[in-house]
Amino acid sequence: MSLKLGETAPDFTAESTDGPIRFHDYIGSGWVVFFSHPADFTPVCTTELGAFARRKAEFAARNTQLLGLSVDPLDSHQRWIKDVEEVGNTTFNYPLLADPDRSVAELYGMIHPAADPKVTVRSVFIIDPNKKVRLTLTYPPSAGRNVDEILRVLDSLQLTEGRKLTTPVDWKPGDDVIIAPSVSDEDARKLHPDGWKTLKPYLRTVPAPRA
């Protein structure tokens, strides 16, 4: 299965390091960053788990929870977490799903036979409060994920939600944003009475909304 943007994230129930989790209940009224790891005791993923733990507060400030997954069993996770805390100089502070039968990994298309049919690829999903998939990323085994980029996209999604705005290349919070091309100039004048900067007829920028 390959999930597409805008689809409802499939529900599931699985054991985790924080106890049983039903995914849709876990999402609740917030956002979730859900990410998979090929296996426990793998070097790149050990650094990633620690980085997410250190920066959990930044996600929480965006009404976003973290959820990890590896296809190894729960007792293996518990041993691995000790390494994560030591290497990352942090306390592990979010759930890590155990998926030894690969049922969740299969549900989310995390198994890539061409890479390795036995382990998950390193996927990232951002799920919104309506349980819709808003971002998917798949990383190769050799490249660690970039937490700053995941936060940046999360900021973009939350800022533009319902506002008929988009964000340009390398956008960061505070930068100007783009009026969606689906908005006519007539409607744009109602939405942006202070006007906008026209770079091209289809490329109109305005200051980012404050909230």
- Say what the pLDDT of residue 109 is: 87
The HSE-up count of residue 23 (CA atoms within 13 Å, CB side) is 24
Per the CB < 8 A criterion, the answer to whether 73 and 102 are in contact is: no
Give percent of the chain above pLDDT 70. Answer: 94
Pairing verdict, β 31-37 and 64-70: parallel
Q: What mean pLDDT comes out for the span 110-138?
A: 81
Looking at the domain 13-145, which fold is it? Glutaredoxin (3.40.30)
pLDDT for 114 equals: 57
Partners of 126 in the β-ladder? 33, 135
Take residue 4 and report the two structure tokens written for it: 């597409």
- Which residue did the predictor score with more confidence, 155 or 71? 155
Give the pLDDT of residue 111. Answer: 75
The predicted pLDDT at position 2 comes to: 75
82-123 confidence digits (pLDDT tens): 999 999 999 999 999 999 999 999 899 887 655 554 555 689
pLDDT at 177 over 60: yes
pLDDT at res. 211: 65
What does the pLDDT read at residue 110?
84
- pLDDT tens-place string over residues 183-211: 999 999 999 999 999 999 999 999 999 86
3-state secondary structure of 84: helix
Q: How many other CB atoms are found less than 10 A from the CB of residue 64?
A: 21
Catalytic residue among 45, 126, 150, 154: 45
pLDDT of residue 135: 97
Per-residue pLDDT, 210? 82
Q: For 144, left (φ over 0), alpha (ψ -120 to 50), or beta?
A: beta
Burial 158-185 (b: 16+ CB within 10 A, else e): bbbeeeebebeeebeeeeebbbeeebee
pLDDT for 66-82, tens place per residue?
999 998 999 999 999 99
pLDDT averaged over the chain? Answer: 93
The pLDDT of 31-56, averaged and rounded, is 95
pLDDT of residue 115: 57
> What is the per-residue pLDDT for 65?
98
**Residue ranges per structural domain of the chain:** 13-145, 162-206
pTM of the model: 0.93
For residue 182, the model assigns a pLDDT of 95
185 has catalytic annotation: no
Bridge-based pairing of strands 122-127 and 64-70 is: unpaired
Same fold, 13-145 and 162-206: no
pLDDT score for 39: 87
The CATH classification number of 162-206 equals 3.30.1020.10
